[in-house]
Amino acid sequence: MSMPPRFPITADQITLVVKQFYTAVRTNPEIGPIFAKHVTDWPSHESKIAGFWRNAILFERSYDGNPMQAHMRAGNVRPEHFDIWLGLFDTILAKNLPTDTAASWSTLAHRIGRGLRYGVEPTEGPPTLT
């Protein structure tokens, strides 16, 4: 038994949004260099991330990865980068999707972004006992 999608969208629309988003990312002066340091094969990366979104929205089992771990391991992703990421993403969503679909995906992206931002927040380390 398959689950219905979170909201109405096609796999092709997801692919389009992901492709256009990463086109915008590559030219962004703040986050473009961060991605460029870690992504060497853009088509492969875009395919993997489209799989992530198809899994999150359409409930396909097309993604195998750990986004939290990847962002934490990167070493140069900061909490403030997520505001830029989400701003670009919202622009691409609004440009390419019906209003309701863009709003639903944006809500999901912001929820995921909050979790990822939390994962890269600096910590003070373990408390010391006195």
- The CATH number of the domain where 69 resides is what? 1.10.490.10
Q: Is residue 126 part of a domain?
A: no
Based on the structure, what is the number of domains in the chain? Answer: 1
Q: Is residue 89 part of a domain?
A: yes
* 62 pLDDT higher than 60: yes
Q: Is residue 2 part of a domain?
A: no
Nearest-angstrom CA–CA distance, 121 and 72: 9
Q: Is residue 128 part of a domain?
A: no
Q: Is residue 54 part of a domain?
A: yes
Query: pLDDT of 73-116, one tens digit each?
Result: 877 788 899 999 999 999 999 999 999 999 999 999 999 999 89
Tokens of 36: 């460029």
- From the list 16, 27, 36, 35, the residue with the least C-alpha distance to 81 is 35
Q: What is the pTM of this model?
A: 0.87
Q: Is residue 113 part of a domain?
A: yes
pLDDT band at residue 19, thresholds of 50, 70 and 90?
very high
CA angle 112, 93, 76 (to 5 degrees): 45
Q: Is residue 100 part of a domain?
A: yes
The boundaries of the domain holding residue 48 are 11-120
Mean pLDDT of 50-64: 92
Give me the phi and psi of 103, to 5 degrees please: -65, -40
